[in-house]
């Protein structure tokens, strides 16, 4: 149809009028513009105003075949401005959920689709009749019997009409309303009844002129005996039969039929095509068979051994066909369609015609086939895309002869053809009318080839003679009444959502369910097998089912007795579908239940998981464990902390807070004082915590002084840049031991010491060598020694007289600001008087020995030797202070950040246990589990998170296995993943408030800032504060807490912890004691078969219930199975047992492993190659697995031959080389994991029983791991790319038929190409080859291949910049740029890339899920640093 706007003719306008009056079926010849009538009606309906309260309605344009969907959708888009959606089965619509349908339909006004899709939509109640305004049935004559057109009307339209519910308008379009020429009236009445519409025949003079007549002719041929097949083809066929089993007798019949009807040449072509198809790669194909077939194909050759000029090579029928084609050669814009019945004939005839010399040069021949395949044929038709490409070529003239099956008879919009030939006999009246309608060009011909006197010729004449009568019958029925159909009396089943299960829908629904069952390369797609028996005049069907997890004990079902075989089969399928629904295999929409990821996902307990996206940084509220002692309405507490250094008596200090703190005695940190090499342990204990009673007025005064004391001490001895607004929580105080006769001795705040801590000196107090302190933040050297009191100058003296020896930079600075008073005002922020002179004191810097404290024992950082001279300064006396604080107090202040951190972290760990009522967990482990890596304390949650992740997967997987006994592996895996992924854990952390107990405060010793002031917003009362926390911290800390719980008290403690945190663990009851677990094992149920006794001996485990072992060894293909296959146990063994054992053993063997190294070694232990090797060596799977697949048998034998070959495989070779490149059948690893799962279940979920087996099996492997350093090739490839900073080095993997092709490119030039049956292996072997090119010698050889790389040098990773006012340089009062960033502190954590804490897995995908998290830690934890990351 043209893209130009169409102008309706009078008869089309009349047809529209009739369609507006009621439901009609338009009967008109092909090419007469029926589609335009539909467009006119659609335009009218969509332009009619509707009430706002009316429901939104759609228009459905329903077609019988896939090619028509695209064609009609394009026409509607061209001729209307409506939103047009099109759906075909190839789009995957059978697997869409209700939400997906709703989303798609919300964006549509008109929907073009095949009939079966609409039928399924209505059955599953995705849409309903009352929300449809119009249904257009294209090729409406199909609406009879069990066609989907008729099912839509019978199951949904007519019942709604009977109930008085709203129904849509019906418009049918057809070129043939009569399917029975002997009784046209019956055909017309049935079609009208089915469609609830009247048939309207278009018959006007204008119509006759718009549809030019076609010349019809019956061309006869005389059938002759054809020559025998070419000997080479006969021999080739015989050899092919010896290589593969031919597909039944139908193939041989096809050869004989082709030879007799089409001749020797076409038969030879057909045989060549058949062998070519056999040689195509396919799953499970024996490589040797394919090699022999390819060799056989090359011997045959592509060309025929004779010329098609030889009359004896073609049948008389084809000779007549060629003559007809030549007769029509002179037709303007020659186009021809040649109709055949069989697909194999279409392709063979196409190839033969291309080789006919008389047709060469002016004919361009292609074939056009349908989608499906017939039994006995190896050609399975065309994809929708291939069909569309062929039709497009025919329209454009690139192809002018189509050899087509009935797919070209109706609907498709072709250019007008001047010749249509029926090569094979016409079978139906509809087929005759539809194919003849293709001949629409001026002076076109419709030719039927037939033997004279044949039944086919007689049938054609009868159709030709009956057509006028049929038109007459149609025209005379304008006022006939429409009969309502009789609904079948078969049972139906309606769900809560009003989805309907009928006998007609039962078989398709069952097939749809079975199509979603898992299958691998070694098992056929699961399907139902029906057996029908005749009992008297009735039939009964038995349906045999494949393995279905939701119906583990139902392997067959008998239907009721019915008078027809079809109804008997439907009855059996109906029974199974009801059972599936009742067992939870089908949902309320009668759709196969599939667990979701993302929106609508459920966890293992059935709760819906929010799909709201989580920002990378989450604002999190934390309880202030110290409270705010400045809040007068909060109680005061005094906690006494004891600090003990080696060689010194314990020192006691008070900690004033507004909350009680937990006591402990085992805290510690580490101290070093270079250049002394030894590291000392400083013990910390919180020995008491009691209320501190103060009257309101006195409290306000004393707390104010205590705040000032703490601020002064921090500025003088820790961090002169303490922000003025910094909240000091808690407050440290000197204490005194009080002993009275009336009460036990106790510690109290030494308020006298607080009052007199600092004082302003007089000149007489400042004798030489007196130590003074400067409490002004702008002064760098805050501890000074008096040299002398200046009597020669005062503060009003000229600046150069006060400091005549100042360097040039300082002199310029003083000159800029004038006098000395202006200088100290501007720079020191000291409010000096401009009129009253002050005494000037000459001071010298006091250098205190450096102290480094750490929370973990490690070598102190190397201290740079201090080479600058001792500084001297002249300050006004008002800037100086004297202190009465003891040296012990001063020493404590320098240790205070570490002491406070110990107290804070212990309080946070105690708070989380108390709040969630967790079982007892070792405090040190729990503190590690809660600590963000960005805190820079030397420990964090990362190692515990790796172990806790395994604990989480173990407990959740077992719970899913027990809680959902009817879930197959796919559903179990999805539900498990929903319950353990980062999204779920983040939501749990936020929902229960666990995030507020994580430890995110950066650990600073040399630039101390109170944790509640840095990066935090404190509440008005100081009891809570909020800060931005990385979302990854939220999920990781839950996993690490599980790891800490397991390492503290084993599985019971971990289960109780997970249960308290709301994880899907099924409670804290041990698994073996749960009722669901007890029902899984029947002691002594059946003896162990003789073939499996050796396995038990090799495993060192005797099964209590031998059925579990048999199930673990049963593949899905096994036809004799009386239960389910190994898939559920395989999931249990893989996702729970094996992963956890590997993680636990690696923690034991290598306690200092980094998470990255641990992940790598664990991958080696549980890789498919390792498991396949074990499966063959220990389980002898080649002899014990139960299966019925010849391809699986061949794959296992091939794998066995590899490991037992001349070189043989050793464990070292497996771990170092083959782990990544040996493409072992996955079934081998699956069986090994299933056996582990079976042992776990049989032992009442006793981990130790499985550990014992695994320790025995892996005994020769574990010692080898210590020496494994080699990484997989792809990881090396990525590391090389990163080291070279090359942006143009990549590997792309593309699926090609039954394998994957990986191509490595370097600056767009391919350097390695490899193929394998799996994506991962293809990528690894391609990387392996690429590394040989990229590293022929030394990595640093820039004269080799890397000379081509101009990607440039690495960019800087961190940019550090300090802000602030103008400061002095060159030894003045200015700062060293990095002075306030401690060694090994936050800055060092930033020097790596953004992914510093994240392991990169080369085989990791994509997730959904997922969101990638990195360990950014705490937002703003860098103080004034501005970080730029690349």
How crowded is residue 131: how many other Cβ atoms within 10 Å of its Cβ? 13
Q: What is the DSSP string of 978-1015?
A: HHHSHHHHHHHHHHHTGGGGSB-----STT---TTTTT
Contact 1307, 1348 (CB under 8 A): yes
Tokens of 608: 């819906």
Residues 1285 and 252: their CA atoms lie apart, in Å, by 63
Catalytic residues: 1134, 1233
Whole-Å CA distances, 31 to 34, 142, 695, 759: 8, 19, 103, 109
Tokens 């600590």: give the residue: 931
Exposure pattern of 62-86 as b/e (b: 16+ CB <10 Å)? bbbbbbbbbbbbbbbbebeeeebbb
Closest-CA residue to 879 (of 761, 705, 982): 761
Residues 89 and 1064: their CA atoms lie apart, in Å, by 37
Contact 262, 317 (CB under 8 A): yes
Tokens of 846: 């006091």
Tokens of 1041: 């807490």
The backbone torsions φ and ψ at residue 216, rounded to the nearest 5 degrees and listed phi first, read -105, 145
Whole-Å CA distances, 72 to 68, 112, 173, 599, 1271: 6, 7, 13, 33, 56
Tokens 């006591």: give the residue: 663
Exposed / middle / buried, residue 672 (Cβ in 10 Å: 0-12, 13-18, 19+): buried
The H or E element that residue 1313 is part of is: strand 1309-1316
* Residue 311: strand, helix, or coil: helix
SS3 sequence of 799-821: HHHHCCCCCHHHHHHHHHHCCHH
Residues 564 and 544: their CA atoms lie apart, in Å, by 19
Residues 932 and 898: their CA atoms lie apart, in Å, by 17
Closest-CA residue to 23 (of 201, 202, 197, 200): 197
Closest-CA residue to 935 (of 994, 998, 893): 998
Residues 1146 and 1163: their CA atoms lie apart, in Å, by 11
Report how far Cα 1423 is from the mean position of its chain's Cα atoms. 37
Whole-Å CA distances, 286 to 102, 279, 1026: 46, 10, 65
Residues 905 and 1011: their CA atoms lie apart, in Å, by 11
In this structure, what is the dihedral angle of CA atoms 1242, 1243, 1249, 1250, given to the nearest 10 degrees? 40
Q: Largest alpha-carbon pair distance within the chain?
A: 143
Tokens 């294209």: give the residue: 138
Tokens of 1078: 């007890």
Residues 107 and 118: their CA atoms lie apart, in Å, by 17
Q: What is the DSSP letter of 526?
A: P
Residues 262 and 272: their CA atoms lie apart, in Å, by 15
Contact 18, 169 (CB under 8 A): no
């Amino acid at each position: 149809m043209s893209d130009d706007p169409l102008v309706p003719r009078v008869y089309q306008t009349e047809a529209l009028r009739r369609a507006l009056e009621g439901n009609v079926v338009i009967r008109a010849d092909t090419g007469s513009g029926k589609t335009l009538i539909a467009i006119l009606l659609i335009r009218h309906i969509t332009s009619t105003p509707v009430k706002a309260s009316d429901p939104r309605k759609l228009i459905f344009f329903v077609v019988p075949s896939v090619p028509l969907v695209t064609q009609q959708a394009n026409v509607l888009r061209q001729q209307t401005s409506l939103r047009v959606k099109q759906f075909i089965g190839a789009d995957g619509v059978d697997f869409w959920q209700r939400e997906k349908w709703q989303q798609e339909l919300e964006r549509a006004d008109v929907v073009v689709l095949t009939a079966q899709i609409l039928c399924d939509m209505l059955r599953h109640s995705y849409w309903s009749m009352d929300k449809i305004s119009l249904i257009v049935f294209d090729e409406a004559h199909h609406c009879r019997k069990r066609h989907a057109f008729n099912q839509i009307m019978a199951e949904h339209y007519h019942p709604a009409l009977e109930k008085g519910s709203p129904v849509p308008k019906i418009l049918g379009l057809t070129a043939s309303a009569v399917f029975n020429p002997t009784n046209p009236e019956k055909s017309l009445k049935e079609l009208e009844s089915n469609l609830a519409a009247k048939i309207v025949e278009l018959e006007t003079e204008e119509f006759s002129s718009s549809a030019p007549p076609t010349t019809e002719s019956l061309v006869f041929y005389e059938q002759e005996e054809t020559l025998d097949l070419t000997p080479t083809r006969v021999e080739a066929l015989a050899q092919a039969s010896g290589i593969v089993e031919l597909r039944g007798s139908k193939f041989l019949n096809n050869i004989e039929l082709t030879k007799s009807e089409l001749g020797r040449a076409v038969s030879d072509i057909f045989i060549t095509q058949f062998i070519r198809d056999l040689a195509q790669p396919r799953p499970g194909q024996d490589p040797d068979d394919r090699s022999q077939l390819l060799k056989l194909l090359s011997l045959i050759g592509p060309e025929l051994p004779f010329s098609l000029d030889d009359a004896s090579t073609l049948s008389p029928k084809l000779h007549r066909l060629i003559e007809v084609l030549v007769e029509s050669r002179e037709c303007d814009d020659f186009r021809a369609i040649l109709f055949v019945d069989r697909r194999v004939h279409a392709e063979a005839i196409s190839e033969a015609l291309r080789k006919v010399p008389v047709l060469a040069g002016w004919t361009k021949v292609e074939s056009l086939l349908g989608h499906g395949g017939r039994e006995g044929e190896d050609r399975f038709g065309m994809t929708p895309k291939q069909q569309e490409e062929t039709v497009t070529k025919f329209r454009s003239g690139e192809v002018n002869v189509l050899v087509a099956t009935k797919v070209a008879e109706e609907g498709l919009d072709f250019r007008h053809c001047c010749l249509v030939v029926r090569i094979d006999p016409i079978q139906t009246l509809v087929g005759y009318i539809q194919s003849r309608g293709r001949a629409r060009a001026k002076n076109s011909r419709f030719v039927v080839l037939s033997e004279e006197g044949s039944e086919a010729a007689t049938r054609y004449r009868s159709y030709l003679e009956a057509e006028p009568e049929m038109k007459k019958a149609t025209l005379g029925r304008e006022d006939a009444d429409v009969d309502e159909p009789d609904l079948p009396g078969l049972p139906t089943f309606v769900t809560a959502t009003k989805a309907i299960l009928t006998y007609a829908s039962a078989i398709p629904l069952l097939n749809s369910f079975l199509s979603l069952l898992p299958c691998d390369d070694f098992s056929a797609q699961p399907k139902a097998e029906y057996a029908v028996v005749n009992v008297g005049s009735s039939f009964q069907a038995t349906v045999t089912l494949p393995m279905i997890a939701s119906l583990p004990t139902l392997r067959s079902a008998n239907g009721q007795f019915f008078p027809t075989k079809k109804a008997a089969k439907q009855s059996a399928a109906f029974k199974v579908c009801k059972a599936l629904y009742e067992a939870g295999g089908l949902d309320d929409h009668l759709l196969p239940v599939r667990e979701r990821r993302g929106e609508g996902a459920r966890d293992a307990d059935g709760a819906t998981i929010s799909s709201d996206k989580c920002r990378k940084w989450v604002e999190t509220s934390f309880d202030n464990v110290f409270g705010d002692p400045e809040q007068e309405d909060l109680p005061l507490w005094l906690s006494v902390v004891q600090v003990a250094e080696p060689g010194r008596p314990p020192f006691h200090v008070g900690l004033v807070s507004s909350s009680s703190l937990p006591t402990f005695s085992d805290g510690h940190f580490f101290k070093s004082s270079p250049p002394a090499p030894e590291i000392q342990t400083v013990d910390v204990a919180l020995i008491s915590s009691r209320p501190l009673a103060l009257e309101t007025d006195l409290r306000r005064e004393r707390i104010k002084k205590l705040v000032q004391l703490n601020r002064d001490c921090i500025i003088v001895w820790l961090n002169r840049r303490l922000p003025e607004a910094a909240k000091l929580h808690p407050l440290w105080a000197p204490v005194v031991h009080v002993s009275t006769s009336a009460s036990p001795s106790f510690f109290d705040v030494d308020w006298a010491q607080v009052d007199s801590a600092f004082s302003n000196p007089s000149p007489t107090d400042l004798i030489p060598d007196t130590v003074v302190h400067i409490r002004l933040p702008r002064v760098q050297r805050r501890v000074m020694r008096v040299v002398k009191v200046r009597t020669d100058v005062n503060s009003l003296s000229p600046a150069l007289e006060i400091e005549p020896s100042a360097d040039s930079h300082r002199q310029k600075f003083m000159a800029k600001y004038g006098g000395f008073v202006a200088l100290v005002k501007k720079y020191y922020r000291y409010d000096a008087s401009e009129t009253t002179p002050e005494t000037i004191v000459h001071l010298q810097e006091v250098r205190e020995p450096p102290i480094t404290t750490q929370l973990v024992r490690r070598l102190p950082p190397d201290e740079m030797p201090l080479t600058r001279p001792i500084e001297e300064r002249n300050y006004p006396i008002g800037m100086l202070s004297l202190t009465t604080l003891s040296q012990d107090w001063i020493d404590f202040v320098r240790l205070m950040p570490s002491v406070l951190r110990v107290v804070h972290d212990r309080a946070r760990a105690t708070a989380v246990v108390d709040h969630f009522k967790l079982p007892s967990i070792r405090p040190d482990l729990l503190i590690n589990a809660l600590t963000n890596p960005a805190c820079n304390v030397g420990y964090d949650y990362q190692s515990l998170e790796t172990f806790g992740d395994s604990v989480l997967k173990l407990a959740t997987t077992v719970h899913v296995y027990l809680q959902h006994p009817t879930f197959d592996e796919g559903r179990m895996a999805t539900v498990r993943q929903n319950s353990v992924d980062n999204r779920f854990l983040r939501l749990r952390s936020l929902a229960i408030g666990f995030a507020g107990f994580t430890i995110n405060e950066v650990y600073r010793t040399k630039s101390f800032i109170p944790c509640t002031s840095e990066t935090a917003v404190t509440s008005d009362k100081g009891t809570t504060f909020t800060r931005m926390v990385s979302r990854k911290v939220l999920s990781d800390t839950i996993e690490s807490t599980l790891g800490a719980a397991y390492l503290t008290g084993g599985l019971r403690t971990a289960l109780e912890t997970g249960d308290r945190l709301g994880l899907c663990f099924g409670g804290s009851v041990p698994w073996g004691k749960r009722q669901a677990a007890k029902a899984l094992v029947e002691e002594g149920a059946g003896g162990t078969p003789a073939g499996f006794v050796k396995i038990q001996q090799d495993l060192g485990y005797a099964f209590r219930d031998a059925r579990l072992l048999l199930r673990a060894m049963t593949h899905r293909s096994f036809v004799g199975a009386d239960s389910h296959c190994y898939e559920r146990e395989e999931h249990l063994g893989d996702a729970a047992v094996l992963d956890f054992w590997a993680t636990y053993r690696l923690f034991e063997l290598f306690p200092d492993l980094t998470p990255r190294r641990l992940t790598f070694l664990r991958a080696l232990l549980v890789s498919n190659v390792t498991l396949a090797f074990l499966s063959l060596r220990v389980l002898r799977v080649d002899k014990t697995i139960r299966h019925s697949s010849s391809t699986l048998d061949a794959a296992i034998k091939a794998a066995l031959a590899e490991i037992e070959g001349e070189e043989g495989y050793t464990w070292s070779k497996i771990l170092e080389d083959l782990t990544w490149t040996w493409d072992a059948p996955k079934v081998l690893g699956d069986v090994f994991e299933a056996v582990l799962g079976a042992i776990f279940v049989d032992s009442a979920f006793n981990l130790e029983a499985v550990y014992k087996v695994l320790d025995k099996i892996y005994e020769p492997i574990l010692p080898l791991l210590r020496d494994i350093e080699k990484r997989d090739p792809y990881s090396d490839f990525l590391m090389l790319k990163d080291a070279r900073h090359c942006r143009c080095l990549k590997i792309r993997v593309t699926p090609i038929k039954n394998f994957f092709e990986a191509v490595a490119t370097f600056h767009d030039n391919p350097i390695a190409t490899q193929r394998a049956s799996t994506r991962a292996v293809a990528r690894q072997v391609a990387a392996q080859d690429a590394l040989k090119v990229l590293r022929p010698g030394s990595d640093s050889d820039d004269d080799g291949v890397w000379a081509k790389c101009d990607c440039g040098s690495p960019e800087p990773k961190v940019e550090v910049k300090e802000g602030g006012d103008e400061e002095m340089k060159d030894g003045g009062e200015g700062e060293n740029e990095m002075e306030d960033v401690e060694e090994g502190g936050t800055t060092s954590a930033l020097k790596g890339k953004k992914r510093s804490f994240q392991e990169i897995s080369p085989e990791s995908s994509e997730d959904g899920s997922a969101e990638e998290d990195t360990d950014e830690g705490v937002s703003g934890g860098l103080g004034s640093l501005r970080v730029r990351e690349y």
